[in-house]
Structure 1
């Protein structure tokens, strides 16, 4: 998933430069807005869209990768940046905008502000219209992930994952699950452990993560007028974004379906029921989205 080399590109839109990755496959395009510590160079759970023959556009949100914090710093701003990027690339219709974790509010905002462009909305473990994060997480993030220290934080994470991977996974998954973390790590398959080590080893926070916390600290309800169908996927065992966020999203979005994951953590892509959820996503995308 996360350890493959990917070709990054940059584009200039009216709001400023934006880094992105565009994997062209078929005429249908999905836009993926990842959450904290993720940039366009990384990938998580994209196979469901690739196997359906969709092209995948992944912008790095403000402060991540090579997208400066000044390019669409707010959720509204980056929703407009993403729409402008689509126009720049000749994409006139988006089969779905996918909001992952902290990227959820921007995805919702993009669907609301650009209804002629976005046909569907998919939210995965997404932050909803509730305060997030809690005070302890907010303060701790300012210690560990401030721009001047986050490089050292992630360097330490990489060393731990290299020499004591299970201990590293327990440390990183501790705040992503409501279950005892030792049991969660013990329940991972060898393949999942390797994927998670590769993913966590390449994460960075840049200026983006603290900006995420600032913009979601006092959220507003999702914008009115969203008419697109929405798929809201979440686990009750998510320790990072409480399940109440998914419930609030379903209540706020008029055409939403909720899919409850049985994942042991925030990372629904590693749950035992992910294959069935992936099939649900393909069905949601439409009859043209089936494994190639």
Structure 2
């Protein structure tokens, strides 16, 4: 899709004996035609979509190629970064997106309603914010949130801690998500996800994760997998076992999936579930 854009940043730098802080207002305008045939084709590779600060200034916020952001849009925000002289860094980002003209791609229904209830499916998006703090190269702590642009009610909240060592890493994340009826989530969700990985050889890694549903007070997902990684190829095989809990004492629904993913760097990704 032909695209014309303009991005403006103006940093303000303050230096203190303990470190330096940069405050940077950011404004971005993207101009392009409407998305062609929006919602009229199956959506297979752009299903995973979350609006947050990591993609606030992305030209196309969809995760794949089956959907493409169209129309005119403005993205604005403020970023503050602090570098400490004794090591460590902190970054804060806050912003919002505006649909200027044309069709809002995120308000268009497709086979799985990608974009609806995302916070972008209205002329003025929800607010997104994040805080990242790394005291050193080993530990990272992050908080991410999306707030309703009218009421400031929290629609999505995540708090995460990560540790990366020589051969292994671990992370723990707490998530709290408002209901998304258009996507099939009728009630608020709350849970804790723990993940870990271990490098067993130069190019081989094994991974695992478990997710605790705080509403049902049960573990509702397990994932184990193994992968091969080098400069040109990423190959992974994962087994996913999940439970969908309902009310009224109804037994949980079990889902089991094997997922094979192949990533050829600079070419693309292939994922097969069976």
Q: Tell whether the structures are fold-level matches, with TM greater than 0.5.
A: no
Larger RCO: 1 or 2 (CA < 8 Å, sep 6+): 1
Specify the structure having the higher radius of gyration (Cα). Answer: 2
- What TM-score does the superposition give when structure 1 sets the normalisation length? 0.29
- What TM-score does the superposition give when structure 2 sets the normalisation length? 0.30
- Which structure is higher in helix share? 1
- Which structure is higher in strand share? 2
